[in-house]
Every structure is written in C-alpha cells, then in structure tokens.
Structure 1
Amino acid sequence: SAEIAQAIGSAAEIVARQAAASKALKTTHNHVH
C-alpha cells in the first residue's frame, strides 16, 4: 500500500542521512589526523 511505500521511503532516507553523516564524520576525523 501507499503507507508501506512511504514508510520504506522514510526509513531509506534516515539510513541515507546516517550514512552521509557517518561518512562526513569519518572524513573530518581523517582530515584532523
């Protein structure tokens, strides 16, 4: 249903944000060192 698709989309967006934040954090960490 549309609700399930929306929930999956929201979850995917959260995962993408976490991955981007993790990557940015790692990049900053590597840059500092």
Structure 2
Amino acid sequence: LCEQVLNFFYVCLNWCGGAGLGCILRCLSDTVNIV
C-alpha cells in the first residue's frame, strides 16, 4: 500500500508541477477515491 501511495504521490507531483502541497494533496485524495 505504501509503495502504491508513493507512486501516486510522484504522479501527482509531476502533474501538479510546482503548484504546491495543496494540489498534491487534492490529487492524492481524488486518486484514493477512484481506487
């Protein structure tokens, strides 16, 4: 699970670019809801 979350985190990091932590957290929560 941790490894999967880490993968999601990097995807979100790439997607958000330098948009900040708020973007990453939102991306992560959206991704977790999908999964």
In terms of Rg, which structure is larger?
1
Q: Which has the higher contact order (CA 8 A, sep 6+)?
A: 2
Higher-helix-fraction structure? 1
